[in-house]
């Protein structure tokens, strides 16, 4: 018999992660997005990334329609934005500066709050339990630098300054 929801959640909460905002455009070209931690760097060659979106997400229909999105990996200082994008607000992008990604069909790049971003086009999607999985080809992206924002047991915190992250190899 599978474990209970509570145990499943407690096990999952034992895993600290970076966090990201998945951003896309809806059919009226309005920006939509949500906070996520379910990310996999799936394949290097070809470059593929995987995200997992709850079927109750209000961003989900836009993702399914546009089949393109930007993964914005958040950096230190973006705690309030993370909280906003984890909410059901209709107006998450109000006052947020973003640029459209040509490679991801205009999906928002949140350059000022991200350590890196990846502009993606969906190659495969399927339902899995109460989520939808999207596998996407990485068409463009950039490492912007800074200290990543992490999530653990309902708390946001910057990557520990006691062990500063080394630079990314091969990227200037």
Ligand X SMILES: Cc1cc2nc3c(=O)[nH]c(=O)nc-3n(C[C@H](O)[C@H](O)[C@H](O)COP(=O)(O)O)c2cc1C
- Binding ligand X (rule: CB under 6 A), the pick from 59, 72, 101, 107 is 59
What residues between 9 and 38 interact with ligand X by CB under 6 A? 19, 34-38
Q: How far is the CB of 48 from ligand X (least distance, A)?
A: 17
What residues between 61 and 90 interact with ligand X by CB under 6 A? 86-88
Q: How far apart are CA 132 and CA 49, in angstroms?
A: 14
- Binding ligand X (rule: CB under 6 A), the pick from 53, 78, 104, 118 is 53
CB nearer ligand X, residue 29 or residue 102 = 29
Interaction of residue 125 with ligand X, rule CB under 6 A: no
CB nearer ligand X, residue 53 or residue 119 = 53
Site residues, ligand X (CB under 6 A): 19, 34-38, 52-54, 57-59, 86-88, 151
């Amino acid at each position: 018999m599978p474990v209970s929801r509570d145990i499943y959640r407690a096990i999952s909460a034992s895993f600290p992660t970076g966090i990201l905002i998945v951003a896309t455009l809806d059919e009226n070209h309005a920006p939509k997005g949500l906070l996520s931690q379910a990310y996999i760097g799936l394949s290097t060659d070809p470059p593929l990334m995987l995200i997992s979106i709850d079927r109750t997400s209000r961003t989900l229909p836009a993702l399914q329609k546009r089949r393109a999105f930007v993964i914005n990996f958040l950096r230190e200082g973006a705690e309030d934005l993370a909280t906003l994008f984890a909410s059901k607000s209709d107006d998450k992008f109000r006052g947020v500066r973003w640029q459209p990604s040509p490679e991801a069909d205009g999906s928002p790049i949140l350059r000022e709050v991200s350590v890196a971003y990846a502009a993606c086009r969906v190659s495969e999607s399927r339902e899995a339990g109460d989520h939808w999985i999207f596998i996407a080809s990485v068409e463009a992206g950039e490492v912007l630098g800074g200290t990543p924002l992490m999530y653990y047991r309902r708390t946001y915190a910057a990557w520990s300054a006691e062990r500063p992250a080394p630079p990314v190899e091969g990227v200037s």
